[in-house]
Structure 1
Amino acid sequence: MSLSFKTKTAVFTIVGITFGVQCDRMCAEETQAQVTTTRRIEKARPQQESPPPAPQSHPLVPVMQLARESYVFLRDNVSDYACRIVKQERIDGRLKPMEFIDAKVRHQRIVDGRHVQRPSIYLHFVGPEEMVDREVLWVEGTNGGKMVVRRGGTRFEYLTLDLDPAGDAALQYSRYPTSESGMINMVRKLIDVGTADMQYGECEVQIINDVKVDGQPCKCVQVKHPRRRSVFLFHIVRIYIADDFPIPVRYEAYDWPVGDSDEPPLIEEYTFQDVRLNVGFSDAEFQRNYRDYKFRPN
């Protein structure tokens, strides 16, 4: 199955798209979250000495080239997309159940210095049961920067709140703020992490061709830091890149094993299914009163 901009489906993965909200807190203004993914990981790890300096020819060079190609492609060629997200994350040491989310995502577009399209995200949860029919809507520069959340699930399903996407309540159920999710943000974060890692050695890279993810032909890029170091955020990362276009189709990250014989514990994984690029969403589809949504009115 091949990829196309309009109608053919594919499978895409995004580190940036990691969503989830806690809607039980009905009172009080949401406090800005001080817990980031990096701090969560570093807090759990003993500090280690720095790795040796980078070799003259770093093994991450071809990986960074692929990441930059992805970023340019998404920036210049993809205006919006729809997809089914399948994700699983470890938050504060606990591996959460797998989540299934239907998403609509818009990328930023600027014409002659004017915003003609702001980054926008709409999410509809289809599983697990306690999250079914949860809805999340966020549009940059609107609603005071807050996202609109309808609780869904089996209790208080119609409860609708305005929440800070980077607040404590939201980040109890997601590793990243909804406002930092999406293809562009995912690739940008990979570039940032790769740039930092290129300062050091102890990095092993494998590129494996002729791999399939949900039937989609792709290549697998594996990056491994064999020793735990305070400057590294992961033990192993695997990024699956579609053969048709330079876009990630799956992402997996693993921590260092506790013992030599243990399997590396999963930190996070994301797979995006049935992606349709450049759908051409209307502005109305990113408003809380859109006819297909169930948010309570203001």
Structure 2
Amino acid sequence: MRSGGMSESQSIFNQKFSRRFFSLSLAFGGMAAHHSLANADDKVENANDHPLKPAIRHAQVCLDKINAIPGYECTFSKKEVVGNELVSQTMKMKVRHEPFSVYMFFLEPAKGREVIFVTGRNDNKLQVHETGLASLIGTLSLAPEDSRVMAENRYPITRAGLANMAQTVITQWQAECQFGETDVKYFEDAKVGDYKCRVIESSHPQPRKQFPYHMTRLWIEEKSGMAVRVQQFGFPKKKDTKPPVVEDYAFTAIKPEVRLTDRDFDTSNPGYNY
């Protein structure tokens, strides 16, 4: 499932998050000391009272709003750990929901690379066009989970887009709400690019097998009500250190009013460089 760096306003907001997080983590640490490992793994007796339940409802509203539009154009920026490296990419994207279709034009790195995927076409394979000398070999037809593709991606293209991003967080929170040791907070006046957002932040004080991430942030754009950014942080390796970024996916310049057709996902499109 990134223009590369964060805006100044995003950076300032993240610094505020960091300061607030560490004060909270000290409190969590004191609480965790009074719980045994057995209790930490016990499921919550009444999941309906779990603090993640309202967060899930908010996220579901976001997903419904996204699914209500047939498609969109946007700029997609991502930072994600692949192997042992933090990979950053930015691209222009077109996404159509039915049939699920994606067109990508890379801005950085590999500027000019194009990727097309359409469910049920081209043997369900990506059509990849590189730039420079690599373009001489022509269009590559690759499976979504081909090792060459996954060498710089955590997820296959079949999980790209706003709807998949929101659904992934919902699925994660639904699984986590079976357990305790979860704190949920809400923040106002955050920004992603020019978007004014509300943020839902869930966190867990201690690494547990049932928690894939230490902290999750879902950014909801106030005007459209759509989720436009997700951040996932790992558990700090040392006390009083910042949690490492594992995933950071942001969508900006979203144009839901566009009418996308088969031509937008066709290698013969004269506007493309296939």
Do both share a fold (TM > 0.5)?
yes
Paired residue secondary structure (2:41): coil
Cα distance in structure 1, aligned partners of 2:90 and 2:129:
16
Asked if structure 2 preserves the Cα contact closer than 8 Å seen for 1:51 and 1:202, the reply is: no
Q: Which residue of 2 aligns with 1:259?
A: 238
Q: Is the 8 A contact 1:66 1:246 kept in 2?
A: no
Instruction: Give CA deviations for 1:60-116 in whole Å, capped at 9, x if unaligned.
Output: 0111001111122222x21110011111111112112x21100111012xxxxxxxx
Structure 1, residues 206-233: CA drift from partner, whole Å, max 9, x if none? 0112222223221111110111011111
Aligned to 2:8: none
Matches within 5 A, 1:75-224: 75=67, 77-96=68-87, 98-108=88-98, 118-128=99-109, 131-152=110-131, 154-159=132-137, 160-224=139-203
Between the two proteins, what is the percent identity of the paired residues? Answer: 28
Q: Which has the higher contact order (CA 8 A, sep 6+)?
A: 1
Give ranges in structure 2 of 5+ residues lacking alignment. 3-36
Letter in 2 for 1:157: S
Change (3 A) 1:223 1:267: same
Q: Assess if the C-alpha contact under 8 Å between 1:55 and 1:201 holds in 2.
A: no
Q: TM-score of the superposition, structure 1-length normalised?
A: 0.75
Aligned partner letter, 2:90: F
User: Would the alpha carbon gap of residues 81 and 177 (structure 1) be closer, same or farther in structure 2, given more than 3 Å must change?
Assistant: same
CA–CA separation in structure 2 for the residues paired with 1:188 and 1:271 = 15
Aligned to 1:68: 60
Contact 1:122 1:135 in 2 (8 A): yes
Aligned mates of 1:74, 1:243 — CA distance in 2 = 14
* C-alpha spacing 1:237/1:287, structure 2 compared with 1 (3 Å): same
How many residues align structurally?
A: 236
Letter in 1 for 2:221: A
**Structure richer in helix, relative to its length:** 2
The answer (yes or no) to whether the contact 2:105–2:112 under 8 Å persists in 1 is yes
Q: CA RMSD in A?
A: 1.7
Distance 2:116 2:93 in 1: 10
Structure 1 residue 124: Cα displacement: 0.4
Name the TM-score, length of structure 2 as normaliser.
0.82
SS at match of 1:157: helix
